[in-house]
Amino acid sequence: MEPGSINLYAELFKTLGMFAIVLGILGGCLYLVKRFMAKNFSMGDKSEIRLISSFYLGSREKLIIIDADGEKLLIGVTKESITLISKLGKTDKETEKKEENTQEFSKIFKENLKSRFFLKKEKKD
């Protein structure tokens, strides 16, 4: 090899290494943004507006039911507009309790699934 020549493989390896480092940094930043920004924007139970249900009618049309300050609203959403279709009435406390129980059940169920499938199984002697 001549003293002024460039080793193509070494340069390619360096370039790919730097590219991997940059992708790793961008992936880490994206993870942090998603993790911490989601907490700031979702208020959880403190929010006065909650999505109860949604039904897709087409590729860009859907019906949604929201609970806004204790009142259920049926809203139509299209690409061009958002329209209040109907007021469905007040939210009763029993429905809210059922929703909370469902959330608690799903949380317990997920935890049991994780513990069952992700823990090592003991061998019987």
Between CA 34 and CA 117 the distance in angstroms is: 27
Measure the N-to-C terminal CA separation of the chain; round to a whole number of Å: 64
Q: pLDDT value at position 12?
A: 92
pLDDT per residue as tens, the chain (125 positions): 566 567 888 899 999 999 999 999 999 999 988 887 765 555 555 667 888 888 888 888 999 998 887 788 899 999 899 999 888 877 665 566 666 666 677 677 777 776 666 655 555 54
Return the beta strands (E) in the chain as ranges: 49-56, 62-68, 71-77, 82-90
pTM score:
0.40
Which one-letter amino acid corresponds to residue 61?
A: E
Distance (Å, whole) CA 36 – CA 23: 20
- Tell me what pLDDT residue 45 has: 53
Per-residue confidence (pLDDT) for residue 116, from 0 to 100? 64
Q: Say if residues 85 and 65 touch (Cβ distance below 8 Å).
A: no
pLDDT for the residue 119:
55
Residue 78 corresponds to which amino acid?
A: T
